[in-house]
Amino acid sequence: MTHAQEKNNKRKVVLIIAAILVAIGIITGGISAFFSDFVTGNSTITAGTLDLVKGTETITQNGTAITSIGNNNAIVENFNPGDVVTVSVPVTNSGSKSAHLRGKFELTGTAFTGAADASAFNTHFAVYKGTVNQATAEAGTETDLAQDATNVTWDGTAKSLTWVDPTPEIINGNSAKADYETETGGADTRTLTYTIYFKKSGKNEWQDKTVALSYAAQAIQYRNNTTADWTDLTTTEVNP
């Protein structure tokens, strides 16, 4: 092994990816409720349902599935400067309600223990929507979600960085349900795909560090909420 190869190996980062599903329980009861159910005489009005179901996620490193290069349990064992890791999670809605759908991420790990602010991450990492290859990521021509201060939150106590996708998509209600909802631009299944790029600026302080990525899908009803107001959410996490 050359000196250069040995030095590069020391700069590897372990990326642990945990994909979770967050099904949004729309507010029920109260005057601000989006929907509820009640009984009047012999008539019953039943609220619709929103029930996300996660498919099998795929994780690639530089275009190759991590299971094909000896990595398992959603762990990228050698995440080097210049690498891209892409996570894709298919999501369907088994409920009847149409919904806005967006991705959400949280990053923690030993890489951020001494961090003072979000720059500890976004100086050396970029996050892109969709599949982005190494050359495109290095060129920096795609929108870097990690640089969007409006949708990025830094927790100085937990040393974690959380961000949400600013452009949600629409997922339809399930056609197997009675009175299911469909919307213009909606789809029965959505695949949320995001790419993390470890910039070549990564220095030796990143050697042998761990970065833990929690990945989630969020949904909130579409009807009577067409501007995607995400402020009134209650969440239930469903592990993969």
Helix (H) or strand (E) run with residue 10 in it: helix 3-10
Structure-block tokens of residue 33: 């409720």
DSSP designation for 136 = H
CB 18 within 8 A of CB 213: yes
User: Closest Cα partner for 69 from 82, 51, 83, 81?
Assistant: 83
Of 16 and 65, more confident:
65
pTM value > 0.85: no
Average pLDDT, the chain: 75
> What sign does the dihedral 22-28-31-36 (CA atoms) show?
positive
Q: Can you say how many angstroms the Cα of residue 138 is from the centroid of all Cα atoms in its chain?
A: 22
Residue-range domain boundaries for the chain: 13-238
Per-residue confidence (pLDDT) for residue 148, from 0 to 100: 82
Of 220 and 73, more confident:
220
